[in-house]
Amino acid sequence: MGRFDAPQALRYWRAPTLTDYKVCLVTVCNFTFIFHSVEQLETCSDYYIHEHHPSSRLLIYTENLGGDNSETQRWFEKLPQYLLEKPKRSEVVKTLKRAIQDYSKIQPAQTKNAKTAP
C-alpha cells in the first residue's frame, strides 16, 4: 500500500527531527496490521466489509507490473486467508472501524490522498 503513505513520508524526510511519523498498529485474531494513514485503514476496512471479492487475477499485458505470471502480488493478496472466515472477518471489521475512529484524531495520519479500489 505504498501509494498511501507517500505524503506523510515526504513530510517526515523534509524535517525528520521536527515531524513525527505516525504508524498505527492494529492487532486482531493474532495478526498485526501496520497502517501509515487513515486512508490505508479505510481501504483495508472496505476490503473486509465485503464477504465476496472479485477475481484477483491480473492481466499481465495491460500494465507494466514488474513481474511474470505469479510474481506480482497486491497488498490484499498478502493477508492471511484465515482472516476472511466469517467470525474472524466480523471481528476484523469491528476492530478496524474502532482504529479508524482513534487514528483519524491524529493530524499526521491524514494524508488527503484519494481512495482507490483495491
Q: Is residue 62 part of a domain?
A: yes
Has residue 29 been placed in a domain? Answer: yes
Most confident of 22-31, 86-95, 107-116: 86-95
* pTM, full prediction: 0.68
Task: Return d(Cα 74, Cα 93) in angstroms, integer.
Answer: 20
Q: Kindly state whether residue 72 falls inside one of the protein's structural domains.
A: yes
Distance, in Å, from the CA atom of 84 to the CA atom of 49, rounded to the nearest integer, reads 10
Per the structure, the count of domains in the chain is 1
Torsion sign across C-alpha atoms 87, 49, 74, 33: negative
Task: For residue 81, give the 3-state DSSP assignment.
Answer: helix
pLDDT in tens, 51-109: 887 776 666 555 555 555 555 667 787 889 899 998 999 999 999 999 999 888 876 55
Indicate the length of the chain as a whole number.
Answer: 118
Residue 117's pLDDT band (cuts 50, 70, 90): very low
Higher pLDDT, 35 or 22: 35
The domain containing residue 85 runs over which residues?
6-109
Note the pLDDT of residue 46: 92
- Arithmetic mean of pLDDT over the chain: 76
Q: How far apart are CA 60 and CA 6, in angstroms?
A: 26
Distances (CA, A) of 33 to 43, 57, 75, 79: 13, 24, 11, 9
Compute the distance between CA of residue 99 and CA of residue 24 in angstroms, rounded to an integer. Answer: 8
